[in-house]
């Protein structure tokens, strides 16, 4: 789950990180009154859960409350990377002299949190990482010890931060690390962390991604979830307890068990195709869940064919077959469905499916080859 910038910054402030004064608004009139309250030039910022708002025109400076109102009207009408803007953050504008990057995430190969920083922060950080990787500094943190003083010092000196800012920067790095740990985040990022013209360090932008599997420990954070801003397919999947990840290919996949789902995607790829999604309907999946899964898959316009691979262990094949049938009744998909259904109650499942307009096969290999061939045929035609 991603937090909005205004939510991330509020979290940062709780951990002692300085942020600009400001508030979030849902209407342009509100934006105007916040600008009046702040009594300074302001920056009006689209609150959407994707990066690159600045480049998309979603971050604009206003020199008066009227201008803030105008800009808010414009920004609230925007869609950024296909997400609607429903809120804007109105912050006091500052004059950044230096833009620094500071982030914490998990390093899966090092098996520990890593603090990443660069003197070349701002909207081109991805470019910096690609072209000048030496400008990106990493400090691995032992989770039992936390960020050590010497490590923090190594970090500030590696990014060549002027000495006058060391103390504040180290306090901010600690605060960010604490915020990351306290919320079970998978990412906590300030980009840019700026040195202002009047020599203050301020977190100008914030991004926090929380670990969904740990959210049960943080009911207060769960409440911050912005349903409007989530991908409808992922929201629907969560509602039914399905694990769904959208991918770029054209072969929809519905599989029971994460391992089998991964294996199915591998076999599709080996057969020369590209999966459109990962979808695990789980063990003991009910007909209702299967129907929801089917709906989600065929709602993706890229999907040209659906491969259903079910190994009935706890999940009974007849139950899955009923789910597929009810989904077919409701949705009437116009893409071919290829089904491999084996295991518990297989005969009953097959018998139920024989009434429907499906292609049943007996091995995953066969299913994948056929799915790939079908997808290719449809792209050619
Ligand atoms: P992002 O593009 O979604 O990452 O949005 P940011 O909040 O990081 O803003 C993008 C850029 O806008 C920053 O890197 C700054 O250069 C600029 N910016 C943001 N806030 C201010 C501000 O208060 N004053 C000025 N002058 N520039 C700002
Ligand atoms: Mn940013």
Whether the per-residue pLDDT at 232 is higher than 90: the answer is: no
Q: Domain of 287: which CATH number?
A: 3.40.50.261
- Indicate whether 295 belongs to any domain: yes
Residue 267 and residue 370 in contact, taking contact as beta carbons nearer than 8 Å: no
Query: What pLDDT is stored for residue 125 in this prediction?
Result: 87
Q: Measured in angstroms, how far is the CA atom of residue 136 from the centroid of ligand 2?
A: 16
Kindly list the catalytic residues. Answer: 101, 189
Query: Final residue of a domain: which of 65, 92, 119?
Result: 92
Q: Is the CB of 53 under 6 A from ligand 1?
A: yes
Q: Domain of 122: which CATH number?
A: 3.30.470.20
- Indicate whether 16 belongs to any domain: no
Query: Final residue of a domain: which of 170, 188, 222?
Result: 222
| Poorest-pLDDT segment among 156-160, 173-177, 182-186, 290-294 | 290-294
Query: Final residue of a domain: which of 45, 71, 92?
Result: 92
Q: Measured in angstroms, how far is the CA atom of residue 269 from the centroid of ligand 2?
A: 35
Percent above pLDDT 90 for the chain? 76
Query: What pLDDT is stored for residue 208 in this prediction?
Result: 97
Query: What pLDDT is stored for residue 251 in this prediction?
Result: 98
**CA dihedral over 203, 206, 212, 218, signed as positive or negative:** positive
Q: Which residues face 90 on adjacent strands?
A: 23, 44
- Indicate whether 14 belongs to any domain: no
Mean pLDDT score of the chain: 93
Q: Which domain holds residue 75?
A: 21-92
pLDDT tens, position by position, 46-72: 999 888 898 899 999 999 999 999 999
- Indicate whether 184 belongs to any domain: yes
Q: Is the CB of 59 under 6 A from ligand 1?
A: yes
Judgement on whether residues 61 and 85 belong to the same structural domain of the protein: yes
Q: Is the CB of 50 under 6 A from ligand 1?
A: no
- Indicate whether 32 belongs to any domain: yes
Q: Is the CB of 204 under 6 A from ligand 1?
A: yes
Ligand 1 atom nearest to CA at 20: 23
Token look-up 């100008």 returns 204
Judgement on whether residues 373 and 350 belong to the same structural domain of the protein: yes
Judgement on whether residues 149 and 286 belong to the same structural domain of the protein: no
Within 250-332, strands assigned E span: 251-255, 277-280, 305-312
Judgement on whether residues 113 and 170 belong to the same structural domain of the protein: yes
Ligand 1 atom nearest to CA at 46: 3
Q: Quickly state the pLDDT bin for 111 (edges 50, 70, 90).
A: very high
Query: What pLDDT is stored for residue 380 in this prediction?
Result: 87
Judgement on whether residues 70 and 113 belong to the same structural domain of the protein: no
Token look-up 């409440």 returns 223
Q: Any idea how long the chain is?
A: 381
Judgement on whether residues 334 and 243 belong to the same structural domain of the protein: yes
- Indicate whether 11 belongs to any domain: no
Q: Domain of 26: which CATH number?
A: 3.30.1490.20
- Indicate whether 72 belongs to any domain: yes
**Model confidence, pTM:** 0.79
User: Which ligand has the nearest atom to the CA of 43?
Assistant: 1
Judgement on whether residues 245 and 303 belong to the same structural domain of the protein: yes
Judgement on whether residues 177 and 50 belong to the same structural domain of the protein: no
Q: Quickly state the pLDDT bin for 334 (edges 50, 70, 90).
A: confident
Judgement on whether residues 334 and 242 belong to the same structural domain of the protein: yes
pLDDT tens, position by position, 198-221: 999 999 999 999 998 899 999 999
Within 73-203, strands assigned E span: 79-80, 83-84, 88-92, 96-107, 112-118, 136-140, 185-196, 201-203
Judgement on whether residues 128 and 70 belong to the same structural domain of the protein: no
Instruction: Using a CB cutoff of 5 Å, list residues around ligand 2, an ion.
Output: 191, 205
First to last CA, the chain: 40
Judgement on whether residues 206 and 246 belong to the same structural domain of the protein: no
- In sequence order, which residues have a C-beta less than 8 Å from that of residue 345 and are 6 or more positions away? 312, 316, 317, 318, 319
Query: What pLDDT is stored for residue 221 in this prediction?
Result: 92
Query: What pLDDT is stored for residue 323 in this prediction?
Result: 85
Q: Is the CB of 116 under 6 A from ligand 1?
A: no
What strand order describes the sheet that includes 337-343? 243-246, 277-280, 251-255, 305-312, 337-343, 359-361
- Indicate whether 188 belongs to any domain: yes
Judgement on whether residues 87 and 101 belong to the same structural domain of the protein: no
- In sequence order, which residues have a C-beta less than 8 Å from that of residue 259 and are 6 or more positions away? none
Domain count, the chain: 3
Percent above pLDDT 70 for the chain? 100
């Amino acid at each position: 789950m991603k937090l909005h910038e205004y939510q991330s910054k509020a979290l940062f402030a709780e951990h002692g990180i300085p942020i600009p004064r400001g508030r979030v608004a849902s209407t342009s009139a509100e934006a105007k009154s916040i600008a009046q309250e702040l009594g300074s030039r302001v920056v009006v910022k689209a609150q959407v859960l994707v990066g690159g708002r600045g480049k998309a025109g979603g971050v604009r400076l206003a020199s008066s409350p009227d201008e803030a109102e105008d800009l808010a009207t414009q920004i609230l009408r925007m869609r950024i990377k296909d997400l609607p803007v429903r809120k804007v953050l109105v912050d006091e504008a500052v004059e950044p002299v230096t833009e620094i990057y500071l982030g914490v995430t998990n390093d899966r190969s090092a098996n520990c949190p890593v603090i990443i920083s660069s003197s070349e922060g701002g909207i081109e950080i991805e470019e910096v990482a690609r072209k000048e990787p030496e400008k990106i500094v990493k400090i691995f943190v032992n989770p039992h010890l936390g960020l050590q003083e010497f490590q923090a010092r190594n970090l500030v000196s590696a990014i060549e931060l002027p000495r006058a800012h060391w103390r504040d920067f180290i306090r901010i790095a600690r605060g960010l690390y604490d915020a990351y740990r306290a919320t079970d985040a998978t990412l906590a990022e300030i980009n840019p962390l700026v040195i202002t013209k009047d020599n203050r360090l301020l977190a100008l932008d914030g991004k926090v991604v929380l670990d969904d599997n740990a959210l049960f420990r943080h009911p207060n954070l769960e409440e911050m979830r912005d349903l409007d801003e989530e991908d409808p397919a992922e929201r629907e999947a969560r509602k039914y307890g399905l694990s769904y990840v959208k991918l770029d290919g054209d072969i929809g996949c519905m599989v029971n068990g994460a391992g089998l789902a991964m294996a199915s995607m591998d076999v599709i790829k080996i057969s020369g195709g590209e999966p459109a999604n990962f979808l695990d309907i789980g063990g003991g999946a009910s007909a209702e869940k299967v129907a929801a899964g089917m709906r989600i898959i065929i709602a993706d316009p890229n999907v040209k064919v659906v491969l259903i691979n079910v190994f009935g262990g706890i999940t009974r094949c007849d139950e899955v077959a009923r789910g597929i049938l009810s989904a077919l009744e409701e949705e009437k998909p116009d893409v071919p469905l290829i089904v491999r259904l084996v295991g518990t109650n297989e005969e009953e499942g097959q018998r139920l499916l024989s009434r429907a307009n499906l292609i049943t096969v007996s091995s995953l290999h066969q299913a994948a080859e056929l799915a790939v061939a079908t997808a290719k045929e449809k792209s050619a035609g």
